[in-house]
């Protein structure tokens, strides 16, 4: 993790070609910015291919997966919700 504060997380994620993060969601709004390689993410009925310089933003609780189509690195930014916001969310945590 590059940065962790009460309301923000920034994580450098590195994946080998063919690696997969199975479907999951975040309680916070996220952005994915590819630094190198190529990744594919699927959410609902949409498939998005991302290459260096591309940015994808997702609202909270959007289920998605991530597949590395090449050796890849990307920045994952999470706008972490406040405790009050977390209490009101239908889905809590990661990976569900």
Q: What pLDDT digit, counting tens, does each position of 34-87 carry?
A: 999 999 999 989 999 999 999 999 998 899 999 999 999 999 999 988 877 777
Give 59's contacts (C-beta < 8 A, 6+ positions apart). Answer: 29
Q: Is residue 31 a part of any domain in this protein?
A: yes
Range of the domain at 59: 3-88
Q: Is residue 73 a part of any domain in this protein?
A: yes
> What is the rounded distance in angstroms from the CA atom of residue 36 to the CA atom of residue 48?
16
Q: What pLDDT digit, counting tens, does each position of 56-70 carry?
A: 999 988 999 999 999
Domain count, the chain: 1
pTM: 0.86
Which domain CATH number covers 40?
2.60.120.10
């Amino acid at each position: 993790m590059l940065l962790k504060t009460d309301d923000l997380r920034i994580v450098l994620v590195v994946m080998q070609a063919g690696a997969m993060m199975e479907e999951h969601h975040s309680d916070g709004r996220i952005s994915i910015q590819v630094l190198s390689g190529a990744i594919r993410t699927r959410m609902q009925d949409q498939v998005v291919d991302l290459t260096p310089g591309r940015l994808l933003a997702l609202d909270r609780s959007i289920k998605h997966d991530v597949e590395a189509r090449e050796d890849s690195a990307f920045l994952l930014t999470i706008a972490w919700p406040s405790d009050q916001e977390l209490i009101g969310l239908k889905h809590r945590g990661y990976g569900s």
